[in-house]
Structure 1
Amino acid sequence: MTIGIGGAGSKIAAKLDSQAILVNVSETELNKVPGGARRILASVHATRGQFRGSRKNPQIGLDAYQSVRRELLELARGNMVFCSSGGGTGNGITTGLLQDLSQATDIDTANKTFFGIILPYAKLESNEFVNNTIEFLTGPLAEAIDSGNTGNIVLFSNKKKFEEKLSEDSYNQQLVESLKLFLSIPDKNDVYRLLDGHIDHEDFALFISKPYFNHFTFLEYDPAIPFGKQLEANSNPLLLEPEAAIEALFLLEVPRGGDPSMFYDILEYFSEKNVSPIYSVVENPDRQKPFVTVALLYSRKPAELVDDFNRITEQHVQAKVKKSLDQNVVLHKLDVNMEQEARRAVKQRGDTEDVLATLRRLGKL
């Protein structure tokens, strides 16, 4: 089951799963999302909020979480949750969910929740989105990771969307297709002829239940080029860049009649990194070239992610200040002889010298 929280999370969940459950504080926003199945309206105190949404305020989303808390906690167990960290609804409701999961004591492997979180592109998106994200990373997300009560956390980045000027729908479609490739790994082990190793549904579920960040990617594999170089050149542009892997998983698909022994080169690469991956090699007759799908689990602390966001935000602010200063107009001092100006005004108006006397009395002359 897939759950989408807020506008961004709901659009992705609905594209990924036709039976997705969508959650929002705004009935209007819920009805805008095509696809998906059941819709849950989280109640806010102000009636107008049901139409206006959370207005980038995570506190509104967090307050609304209380109205769906019990139901959402039950639905999230063992399933996937998608949200954005920058807005109010996705951030706020997910904050409440993460806080409750952090305090839980009875979450077994099968009930761990997989989170997909969309991060703003700090260079081009608003400071509100970035500041909301910083609070989200340092607060509820950090606590949840430390508790060990979540599954994998995938950090999607809006960077590609903004740099390539993609429409939201196009970006979401790319994101979903990327996810589907990763999630199809156990199904391919069922469908295709197995040549070496094995990743069944139980193995895969155990892997995604671990409380680490997950960077998954895929590439056409050329055995003549070191795997490490190919992996480095093919990190997933839709995700935040990964750190050094703690654990890994890969599926190698070889064409019909291809040499399956090339997987040893991939194993050697991970061995040099002190990582023992779970893996599978299958024969896929639809492939013309070897194809690798790989997932790297890493434990970069949210504080380090926040440092990155703070650095980018500070650079952004400094650039704005510099631009403002560059555009500043310098007003030169204008020297005015008040007596001369007063005499000119008196002459033009035909007034008496009373104006001059008044100016002298006021200390202006």
Structure 2
Amino acid sequence: MEGPVIWLGDGYEARPLTLEAYRDACARLEGRIFGGNWGYAFDRPVKSPLPLGETFQWGLYHGDDLIGWHHAHQQGERTVYMADTGILPEHQGRGLYSRLLPHVVEVYRQAGYTLVQSHHRATNNRVIIPKLRAGFFLQGLNLYEGGLNVALTLSLDDTYREAMHVRSGFRQAVGETARRLGLNLGPGEEREKAAPCVPMPELPDTEAFDLGGGYTAHPVPYKVYWATYKQLEDVAYQSVSFDWQGAPTASGPTAPSWAWLIAREGEVVGWSAARAWNERTVYMSNTAFLPQHRGKGLYTRLLPHLLDTFQREGYPLVRSHHHVTNNAVIVPKLRAGFRIQGLQTDEHGVMAVLIHAFDPVYRDYMDARSGLTRPRGEVARRLGLHLREDEA
């Protein structure tokens, strides 16, 4: 299927291509676009390729110059798979991918698809961030010939989108979503809980972070943070965690810890806490804002201050876990330089594991592990690879 011409601004447009024209463009340009990736070279396949079903192709043009493409194909009766998008390096970083996304998604919606899926190397934040901002959710990880990939899914059905939140543990199942999941819930009205007014505790003079808009973040002892958290926990979260039924009987590990309370007009409106994970890693264990204070960019403004603190403390890595459908937190983390490094299921649900590295060599190492780049220079040396001079 050929789609419409898509105007992208600044002299760029996406013009529909035939499948053959798309393949010809790949043959001519893919070396310039993907030449720095690190994949595995299989022998020639012995089996014929599977039929693609319905396909969609656009060539990306700047004036009359072909500078990239987008290709997608049917994958089942409900799903279209965004298989390949490439833009020449000199035209990257101009927002083309973000501007293209809503147009092609609308074409897929009009064509009758319910789900849009794609895979990307796990450290390729340049592509993952626009996808998450467009409403895709992180749905899995797979190790394949190209490296470590993240699987992303966009639901064009609002009820299924809510079901993805339920599966991750980010929200409770209610209404039609619960019915579609086979849950026969009893009658009951969900009411939004009112947040109690918790005044900022009296603190010794400490240097607070100014977050703008009248918001400040104050370092506090961990026990002060914990006492405040217990008062506001029920109104800060919609997530559903496993109830362990009783307090733990074993003592927890003793490790350095940090905590902040976020205040506005003398009241606590949020918090952040962290502790040492090991001798090289800080674990950002908990950050939350009360509902009426979300969507104001506070998390984005808070992050640099926290990262500066952890770096000054001498930890080269920062780790955090988030529900895989919690894009409101995952996107600011990725924009701050965190990388998706894993998935895990724990008492809180299905969680994405994010890592931030202050060490530039370790950042390059993560890119090499994901297959986004080839191991070169110091990364190759740290991995024990003795490359030829022209490869190093």
Task: Give the greater-gyration-radius structure (CA).
Answer: 1
TM-score (norm 1): 0.24
Structure with more helix by fraction: 1
Structure with more strand by fraction: 2
